[in-house]
Structure 1
Amino acid sequence: MRTQVAIVGAGPSGLLLGQLLHKAGIDAVIVERQSPDYVLGRIRAGVLEQVTMDVLDEAGVGTRMHAEGLLHGGFDLLFKGQRHRIDMAKLTGGKQVMVYGQTEVTRDLMDARQAAGLPTVYEAAHVAVHDYGTDHPRVTYEKDGQTHTIECDFIAGCDGFHGVCRASVPKGAIKEFEKVYPFGWLGLLADTPPVHHELIYAHSTRGFALASQRSLTRSRYYLQVPLTDQVEQWSDQAFWDELKRRLDPQAAEHLVTGPSLEKSIAPLRSFVTEPLRFGRMFLAGDAGHIVPPTGAKGLNLAATDVKYLANALIEFYLDKSEAGVDAYSEKCLKRIWRAERFSWWFTSLMHHFPENGEIGQKFQEAELDYLIHSENGARTIAENYVGLPLDFGQ
């Protein structure tokens, strides 16, 4: 098989890249080791920045997002038992975020690719990348007992943190930066109305909590828990009881509980790979970086990686220029490190760190108090939360 771009990974990054390239008349084949149902079964965050909404619209997959997504112009910070609203729209000149689940984004992209009749290989075993340091890279995989080869001009590694693309790079050619946090997020999904029409980020001596949502009838809640905890230790009732303890009295009183649809514990880490280009292979999304979920930057960073990469490849084919390809890694990393900094800072501010003692708690409360009483402080949170422009600092 011959194509212009071989995309490894059919998550939102790979599917979005494929859609943007298709719109520009560039051929791409996507190879995915899992089944479509498995990909759609991944429960992930769902807060989209304006930049991400714009990219999805450009890809032609924004119709359902605009019809069913929930626009949010602010969110609440809860500390010392009281909630304080960060008015993002007012502080950023009208910018908002969209609450729309990553599963729905992936479904929309899958449907668009299928409707266009574009090639996607699911359940591909033993995927491998070859010769990406030359002008003739290849991707091989096994399917139905046979080995297949995709010859291409470029390889896009959109295959996540545990994918084959980054793992195939020689150790001496890559540098990895990582911070692992001493806690995780216990998440619960339930078909219950959200406790509040916007998100609530809660800081307490018992640990962080987040009251989020997927729709007007489906809620997603999170609790900070030790990494030693197991999901089996947490009954639904235990989760709801602990969530109430971390919310303010009004929210706790109005919280509607119900059976969980899904419950899982996700570890938190900050992770960045440098560079993101290796000859004719590029890393995008979780293959190149991971952010803590505090601040909802993961999917949004992936979307902007893909936008930069699509622009670079379109420039290569349509304008016969390699300038965008050569600048891809540096351009992405500038944005990635800004988002990593915000996620690290927000995580450090909102979570409970017992090792820091009571003085650490007081420092966090004092900073939160400053932020909500300083317009410039609140604007810093708002600007980063809604997402910096694509050309910020470029």
Structure 2
Amino acid sequence: MGIVGAGPAGLLLARQLHASGIDCVVLESRDRSYVERRQRAGILEQSTVDALRSVGAADRLEREALPHDGIELRFSRRSFRLDFPSLTGGRRVWVYAQTEMVKDLVALQLKEGPPLLFEARALAVEGANTDNPVIRYTRSGREHTLSCDWVVGCDGYHGVTRHGLPRGVLRTYERGHPYAWLGVLAEAPPAYEELVYAHSERGFALASMRSPQVSRLYLQVPNGTDPEDWPDDRVWDELDARLAPHGGWRLHRGPITARSVLPMRSSVTEPMAHGRVFLAGDAAHIVPPTGAKGLNLAAADVTVLGRAFSHLNVTGSTRLLDTYSATCLRRVWRAEHFSNLMTSLLHRDPDQSAFATRLQLAQLERLATSPHAAAEFAAQYTGLPVEAE
């Protein structure tokens, strides 16, 4: 098995294959330090935590992750809380940064797993329709060829794997959004126990965290925003203005150690497999970050794929591999719908009418007052169980 990309999807799949006695090689174009420092998502669904536990990669998570049993929604200078366990029959989410999850998986892979090659840049995936697809890559200034029985592309939207499939095989559905997120990391203890999502006249804001000492915060900003135009005081003042449901509430302030602008877009590529090449994670789909689905969808993809390869290894049957794309796409489109629903519900379009704003407030009011609406929202947020087929 050849796996292109050592992000969460590629590393988790490698651990699942190792547990099933299946040989694989993971190729990663960046060095280890870069891979372990990439700032990405920080919310893990129940099924993602279960997948990490199943491959022995949850020891540090169990000690350090912050379990959350709900979120707070703020609008019209009021707030309400969604209690996940009571609405979903006990499901919850965990705050654990993707960087930490990757560190855990890398350490396991290097200690006891099959080869993980850093600074190995994939050039092309060839022979998708053959019994032995090939990955051409460079490492240490030399070109190499990896002959595989199967190839899994976990190398993102711009990776080479999806471009190795024959022209006309894939169809991509995309949607852009007329705003972005300014995300910051701050050395400041969170002034809240759970994530706070805010709808305001000034735009969306999200108060999250990385640890009891580090806050992760986001502001809706126009596309093309330069993060350097947002000095610390401006960031804190705007966060306070958008997040305060009433006078007197303030965030704990501290030095901002990192800031970046995250574009908002949606994308789904179908099918997620062709011949002996499979796509997983961002190579197949991208969601706006509002619903915290990107990392969790990637973990669900490779969990389905890991089960399918284990089934092949035990039975010789490709039945689960043959249904991989259809199985994953059912979950992907539901997650896309939920992420876009959250995004359109909480953000203000630059040209938004007063009528559209009133519709947003009406839906937020329904979430606050309808147990049925709240239960559906909570079920989607905490994540649906990963289908077997």
- TM beyond 0.5: yes
Match status 1:339 vs 2:335? yes
Alignment of 1:14-163 (within 5 A): 14-163=10-159
Instruction: Give the superposition deviation at 1:179.
Output: 0.5
Quick check: 2:272–2:284 contact (8 Å CA) kept in 1? Answer: yes
The residue type paired with residue 150 of structure 1 is L
Letter of the structure 2 residue corresponding to residue 221 of structure 1: L
Q: 1:147 to 1:307 in 2, by over 3 A?
A: same
Q: Amino acid of the residue matched to residue 293 of structure 1?
A: P
Moved over 4 A (4+): 249-252
Q: Does 1:384 align with 2:380?
A: yes
AA in 1 matched with 2:37: G
- State the distance in 1 between where 2:335 and 2:215 align: 25
Question: Deviation at 1:187?
Answer: 0.2
Secondary structure at the residue paired with 1:206? coil
Provide the C-alpha distance between the structure 2 equivalents of 1:126 and 1:317, rounded to a whole number of angstroms.
Answer: 27
> Post-superposition shift, 1:249?
5.0
Query: 3-state DSSP class of the match of 1:238?
Result: helix
343, 347, 350: which one aligns with 1:351: 347
For the pair 1:179 / 2:189, whether they are aligned, the reply is no
Q: TM-score, normalised by structure 1?
A: 0.96
1 CA distance for matches of 2:165 and 2:247?
49
Q: Aligned letter for 1:388?
A: L
Q: 1:287-315 CA deviation, whole Å, 9 max, x = no partner? A: 00000101100000000000011111111
**In structure 1, what is the Cα distance between the partners aligned to 2:332 and 2:245?**
37
Shift, 1:86, TM fit: 0.6
Q: 1:224 aligns to what?
A: 220
Cα RMSD of the aligned pairs, angstroms, is: 1.3
Taking the aligned partners of 1:344 and 1:167, their CA distance within structure 2 comes to: 27
Aligned-residue sequence identity (percent) comes to: 47
C-alpha deviation, 1:251, in angstroms: 8.7
Cα contact 1:244–1:252 (8 A) shared by 2 = no
Q: Deviations over 1:305-352 (max 9, x none)?
A: 000111111111221000011000000000100000000111010101
Instruction: Tell me the secondary structure at the aligned position of residue 161 of structure 2.
Output: helix
* Amino acid in structure 2 at the alignment position of 1:372: A
* Counterpart contact for 1:245–1:252, Cα < 8 Å: no
**Counterpart of 1:240 in 2: which secondary structure?**
helix
Equivalent in the alignment of 2:6: 10
Q: How many residues align?
A: 389
**3-state SS in 1 of match to 2:51:** helix
Q: Distance in 1 between matches of 2:247 and 2:380?
A: 26
Q: Which of 294, 298, 302 is equivalent to 2:294?
A: 298
Residue 214 (1) aligns with residue 210 (2): yes
Runs of 5+ consecutive residues of structure 2 not aligned to the other structure: none
